[in-house]
A and B are shown apart, each in its own frame.
Chain A
């Protein structure tokens, strides 16, 4: 198991290196584009261009340029966003990351808890009325676009009903957890719920399908024949095997969301997270910032991927020796 973890983390490092190299090459080696002009932004002075050229070593060979870029990102962490003059890239990401993490992790907890409950109920009551009702709601949840749902939530909680039923909902924005935990939770409650809806739909359907398949497996009948309680049959045998693919799916989603895919929710609810930051950077063609958030996103996706694989191996002995 430890060997597996080390191997997996080793390959994660390799993937991270490759991703950063590719991201770098896209920005610095795309033919016909002067990276200095891109980094410096539109209408930059000749002086700024010269400064960019020297600071990124653009007259030096590509590997050196790559190392310099990484140095700016990770070692000195002084990569400048030339579009928003003087704004440092790394501190901005560091500032935005906890917001995205708060949003995604809270939402993930809600999504996992409710989808497990719904998937389990659906599978246990397969063929009864509850099952198709839950599964139809799940499809509905998957189909509703998050930005629309978010806007509707805002319309109700911030608009029409703000002075009656939802007077306790704070205005859009973010309060750090360390500053005021209650305000933090209140600010994030509707973003959490909004973002969770789609994932509840997906996971509960996947879990139900896996559970129904597991219930038809011989080992579930064999477990029943052992004289253990039905509860134990369902939880320790059927659910234990059914949750493996759901966990994999969840881990991958988590990586992507922390990496910035929570963008729509962040924009709708005015949460200045990483997705929001990327969105702004894209609007302003802020290359340094895009480079920063790309590598940040890659880091989380790769990290979550590695964690999922390790967890997967922990949950399923058949993977461990592969």
Chain B
């Protein structure tokens, strides 16, 4: 979808200090803390992080899709000159599905089981466009064809349970694309699929994105998916962005120890003849209930030092102003420390863990 000229050079979506906290019996849990980022037209932004890092919560709250009276959301989400967080429910409805569409993780549960695929797409169309049921139906067939569903004129009348997982996810994508949104929010759209289908769906999303020119914000815990599809990546940990930047920069020269850990835990194809043990980041992510003033990763970080009791700000690299991270380690040391982590991640050496546990101060 062509973007209007005045927004062309501007950011399509600007998130400022998005903070989400939830009131629980045990106290207030901060799920998303002070997240800011911008999305330009045509961007494919990947948000990566472990389960519970707040990536889905960030995504869902861009459109205020969480319905929980115990939830407090603050910050700003600027879209087309309006703050989505303070917009009236009515105006928000026009944007949801119309200008910003969402693709959910599990297509099996994202479609209401009692309605056909065509019904779902027609409902999406008719929510924003004044079309007849019949026109919507034939448009649904076109859309299903576009996302590569064979025999779309038959499948349009199929119920969700009659389609395979990959088919269903294609149908969900077709539904999301129905109104030609300028932004697609995708919440782990490939997680519930097998690897081959994952690649197909990812491919499809990239194709459609380049064809329609929409921006995509993509949540995943799969770094491989990010490497394949995203041009920008945000690494989240415990509700905060710990590192963000262009994908090739972040993957080639990751700056934050957590990112090192993430990249180090990707299984590698056998370079050594010895059995390779899969490396993981020691420890567990902190509970969102704990209020830590300092870096949330400090407890699990091999390079923790006295400075870490303070919250590090996101600081850009001198050479790459787009690439920033939140860590107190001196820039000059990063290269050597990273090399140690990522190299030692390779063989399953008993000394390996010991070496990492010692860690430099």
Contact = CB atoms under 8 A, between A and B. Distances in A.
B128 A230 contact: no
A227 B111 CA distance: 15
Contact of A224 (B69, B96, B98): B96
A317 B117 CA distance: 12
A221 interface: yes
Contacts of B95: 227
Given A224-B96, A227-B98, A218 B105 contact: yes
Most interface-central of B89, B94, B124 (chain A CB within 10 A): B124
A127 B69 contact: yes
A219 B94 contact: no
A217 B109 contact: yes
Interface string B61-76: 0010101010000000
B259 to A, nearest CB: 30
Nearest to B106: A218
A316 B111 contact: no
A285 interface: no
Interface in B87-126: 89, 92-98, 101-102, 104-106, 109-114, 116, 123-124
A318 interface: yes
Interface in A188-217: 215, 217
B161 interface: yes
Q: Is the interface of A mostly helix, strand, loop or mixed?
A: helix
Contacts of B114: 240-241, 244, 315-317
Contacts of A225: 63, 65, 96-97, 101-102, 104
Interface string B124-137: 10011000000000
A227 to B, nearest CB: 4
Contacts of B78: none
A237 interface: yes
Contacts of A229: 93
A222 interface: yes
B303 interface: no
B161 A219 contact: no
Most interface-central of A222, A237, A316, A317 (chain B CB within 10 A): A222
A317 B101 CA distance: 27
B79 interface: no
A248 to B, nearest CB: 14
Contacts, number: 73
A228 interface: yes
Interface in A227-274: 227-230, 237, 240-241, 244
A310 B95 CA distance: 40
A27 B170 CA distance: 62
A222 B124 CA distance: 11
Interface residues of A, number: 23
Nearest to A222: B110
B93 A219 contact: no
A146 B105 CA distance: 49
A60 interface: no
A244 B113 CA distance: 12
Nearest to B161: A318
A218 B104 contact: yes
A85 interface: no
A224 B65 contact: yes
7 contacts: A219-B112, A219-B113, A225-B65, A227-B127, A240-B112, A241-B114, A316-B114
Given A219-B109, A225-B101, 20 more contacts: A127-B69, A219-B110, A219-B111, A221-B60, A222-B102, A222-B104, A224-B96, A225-B63, A225-B97, A226-B97, A226-B123, A226-B124, A227-B97, A230-B89, A240-B114, A241-B113, A316-B113, A317-B113, A317-B159, A317-B161
The 9 A-B residue pairs whose C-beta atoms are closest, nearest first, are A227-B97, A227-B96, A225-B102, A218-B109, A226-B97, A222-B110, A317-B159, A219-B112, A227-B93
